Structure 1
């Protein structure tokens, strides 16, 4: 299973690098969210090993990163975040790999897929972007990722009985959803240049249009 996880991570990283994501940094507005990703996300992932609580809050932030950076840049950024998290927390290489894949690459990839589906099948407007893609889309991505992780035996840092694990993942998914939705709303209003997936031309000048 670990070989499959490693193969998936390498495949996703190579696919992302094939798009030459560093070209996106020519837009200087993405430098700030990239630096924020490398500072904040590793602490979110390392937090369960840095304190003792009955139920660990395993937040991801991957969907928020994908909205900000776009999938090709988000994947390598999340891989670096996984390396930093391994330096911050007393975890094994195997746990570090699982964090990178199940808290980073998988939800980021699902978020990208949901975003493309919403742009294809729903009207292009502000509410679909914030409520659909950023908020509810993140909830769906995180819950599906958590269910897949549990099905494959990846418990990460969640110390809850198996019969309550899905309930815990569902509740934590809403936490990620609220954070991502709030970030998207604030960024659209005040810092749209922080969102590689946002476009005034698409979401404001053509309300109700379909791609």
Structure 2
């Protein structure tokens, strides 16, 4: 609990120090921000609302990262964790764990992987969609799940090997949706992606 709380508070402090509210100037990110606050809490609370053999949580943190940018995504994901906890009727311990493992850590790993992909492969639209949105999401989500399992928070009633397989498949499903929506937004709503730049990615 202490480590998770420290991770969340450190990430939140760094994000707020970057003054993320400046990204809301002009209102172009208001729609993806509100959509994140409305949709994600229900997806995060779903395992607590239904009895499922595998208590897997959909993250969506990498999509929020692409839409809002890391400084704004972190506080939004923390708010999502609080709302999801209220919906599920859980306590603050669960809220902190959810914020750390499902939100902050995947988004931060996604930021690091995305920066590495951009540095190595450039800013081509296919690199953005397939590299950052899809492959980067798979790696960051699975890595966050593995770290969570290694910390002692394994799936209840499931062996460690089967848990890794379940997390791997869930990461692919989450990344598929992230990549698909990123491609749609690049084509039709690029203003909803704070991490996308026409000037950089479409230059000839």
> Who is 1:160 aligned against?
158
> Who is 1:16 aligned against?
15
Change (3 A) 1:121 1:4: same
User: How far has the Cα of 1:51 moved from its partner?
Assistant: 0.8
Q: In structure 1, how many angstroms separate the alpha carbons of the residues matched to 2:80 and 2:156?
A: 20
Give the TM-score, by structure 1 length: 0.93
Q: In structure 1, how many angstroms separate the alpha carbons of the residues matched to 2:146 and 2:55?
A: 17
Q: In structure 1, how many angstroms separate the alpha carbons of the residues matched to 2:85 and 2:79?
A: 10
User: How far has the Cα of 1:120 moved from its partner?
Assistant: 1.3
**Equivalence map 1:82-101=2 (5 Å):** 82-101=81-100
Does 1:52 find its partner at 2:45? no
Does 1:201 find its partner at 2:199? yes
Give the TM-score, by structure 2 length: 0.96
Q: Deviations over 1:63-93 (max 9, x none)?
A: 0000000000000000000110111002222
Change (3 A) 1:159 1:194: farther
Q: Deviations over 1:86-137 (max 9, x none)?
A: 1100222211111110000000000111111112111220100000000011
Give the gaps of 5 or more residues in structure 1. 207-211
Q: Is the CA contact 1:98–1:154 (under 8 Å) kept in the aligned structure 2?
A: no
> Who is 1:171 aligned against?
169
Q: In structure 1, how many angstroms separate the alpha carbons of the residues matched to 2:71 and 2:165?
A: 31
4+ residue runs of structure 1 moved beyond 6 angstroms?
none
Change (3 A) 1:48 1:71: same
Q: In structure 2, how many angstroms separate the alpha carbons of the residues matched to 1:158 and 1:184?
A: 33
Between stretches 9-18 and 112-121, larger displacement belongs to: 112-121
User: How far has the Cα of 1:140 moved from its partner?
Assistant: 0.4
Q: Report the aligned-residue RMSD.
A: 1.2
How many residue pairs match? The answer is: 204
**Equivalence map 1:60-209=2 (5 Å):** 60-155=59-154, 159-206=157-204
Q: Deviations over 1:147-171 (max 9, x none)?
A: 000001123x665222311011000
Q: Is the CA contact 1:114–1:137 (under 8 Å) kept in the aligned structure 2?
A: yes
Q: Is the CA contact 2:56–2:167 (under 8 Å) kept in the aligned structure 1?
A: no
